[in-house]
Amino acid sequence: MKKRYFGTDGIRGRVGEEPITPETVLKLGWAVGCVLGADGGDRGRVLIGKDTRVSGYLLESALESGLSAAGTDVSLLGPMPTPGIAYLTRTARARAGIVISASHNPYHDNGIKFFSAEGTKLPDDMELAIESAMQRSMRTVDSASLGKAERYRHAAGRYIEFCKSTFQAKDGLDGLTVVVDCANGAAYQIAPAVFAELGAHVISIADEPDGFNINSECGSTYPATLQKAVRAEGADLGIALDGDGDRVVMVDHAGSYVDGDQILFIIGAARDAAEALNGGIVGTLMSNLGLENACAARDIPFKRARVGDRYVMSMLQAEGWELGGESSGHIICLDKSTTGDGIVTALQVLAVIMDSGMTLAELKQGMQVFPQTIVNVPTPTAAGDKRRGRQGVDVQHSSRVLRAVRAVEAELGDQGRVLLRASGTEPVIRVMVEGADAKLVERLAQQLADAVKSAAREAA
């Protein structure tokens, strides 16, 4: 059965357009409740958290109503980072956790993601079961069996204490000045509190959400704001989260950008030196060649998964490893958390800084970053695909594009990589070229993107 609603990371779209409408989300909540009770046990309790988008109120109410109609109790967390919802779902022994967020997208988008009772992403068979239930007529349980709703007390405090517990440096963060960019998102209160309670002097920015400014010229997808703040404040470093708090990128004292690949390298190299890596590192097809080379130089096993945290997680589990992630800053430390966690990841880097006495700028020098250019090429969409943000018409395997790929690869030789990838969240082909010469990489990426554009026009 092909999924109709679920994409690579839950259900996502523009608010008011299918499937992010009150009617569909109400039915979704009911379907989740039905699936949770399909094993003959009680439907238990489901936790619902959200980021700071104005549409969160609407979707929260719809989900709550649907779950109640199916006989499932609900605990409302309010604004809470995605990894915090995963943690609380597991430790509160809830049947499932629901995240209302579109992550790094602008405010007019929203989405719904789910966690299992173990705090992990739902398996495909459960997503398919939910979609199957959504095709049935909605029936409300008897009034005596309706689910109840309550506010989850002390949710933020519990998650703050958990984050702090993952930081092991003996002297805390005393003496460190940190700028924290909260992206006007779900971590706007929690992240500054974590770093401050560990002893850092925290300068918080993008911490005044109004429902519309989430990820707007701030956060992990717009590091220029953090870079400017770090330089202006003379801070030791900066930390930028995304709207739902599961991604992190950093900035050193000079304002230089540190992405997810470099963060993976810093954590992995430190763990390897301490004989605590427990295997190797999982990156993705988009991970910089410099990360692969740096791992090879240290005899650290390195593997590439498909793009998407669920594929990184799957490979980690298959290999029995603990550390993996994406260039975007979605890092998974399985010995600390069951999912990507921006705050916890930042704390792992800060622990290396405090224990080694080295600056972030010094630590990142162990990995040479290869110039990489990514061009997003819009493509035609098949009917119904656009609303789900999926690739519609396949152009990346056309003869024109394949010839262009071979030509670019021949010019790069063994000093670079080429990757064409259909986005799982937008109707675009991501054209990536990587190599040692920045100008050559930029020219070849545009050359290849032009070939993809031509193929897309022919397919339209």
Marked catalytic residue, from 55, 75, 103, 116: 103
User: What is the value of pTM for the model shown?
Assistant: 0.91
Identify the residue whose tokens are 């967390």. 77
- CATH number, residue 393: 3.30.310.50
Name the domain count of the chain.
3
* 100 and 184 in a common domain: no
Domain boundary among 153, 168, 192: 153
* 183 and 107 in a common domain: no
Q: Please, what is the angle between helix 155-165 and helix 190-197, to 10°?
A: 40
Query: Strands, DSSP E only, in 330-369?
Result: 331-333
Q: Structural domain of residue 431, as residue ranges?
A: 372-459
Report the pLDDT value the prediction gives residue 380, as an integer from 0 to 100.
74
Identify the residue whose tokens are 């995304």. 242
* 378 and 353 in a common domain: no
Residue of 281, 175, 161 lying closest to 237 (CA atoms): 175
Assigned domain for 1 exists: no
Report the pLDDT value the prediction gives residue 459, as an integer from 0 to 100.
78
Q: Give, for 173, the enclosing helix (H) or strand (E).
A: none
Report the pLDDT value the prediction gives residue 381, as an integer from 0 to 100.
58
- Is the sign of the CA dihedral 245, 248, 253, 257 positive or negative? negative
Assigned domain for 2 exists: no
Beta strands 177-181 and 237-241, pairing class: parallel
Give dist(CA 348, CA 346) in Å, integer.
5
Measure CA of the first residue to CA of the last residue in the chain; give whole Å: 28
Assigned domain for 294 exists: yes
Residue of 413, 424, 420, 423 lying closest to 452 (CA atoms): 420
Report the pLDDT value the prediction gives residue 170, as an integer from 0 to 100.
81
* 332 and 240 in a common domain: yes
Domain boundary among 319, 336, 366: 366
Assigned domain for 334 exists: yes
Strand order in the sheet with 416-422: 372-378, 428-435, 416-422
Query: Strands, DSSP E only, in 334-379?
Result: 372-378
Q: Is 399 a catalytic residue?
A: no
Residue of 80, 83, 62 lying closest to 149 (CA atoms): 62
* 168 and 143 in a common domain: no
Assigned domain for 314 exists: yes
Give dist(CA 415, CA 2) in Å, integer.
40
Assigned domain for 315 exists: yes
* 149 and 274 in a common domain: no
Domain boundary among 122, 153, 184: 153
Q: Which parts of the chain have pLDDT scores under 70?
A: 1, 39-41, 381-393, 425
Assigned domain for 122 exists: yes
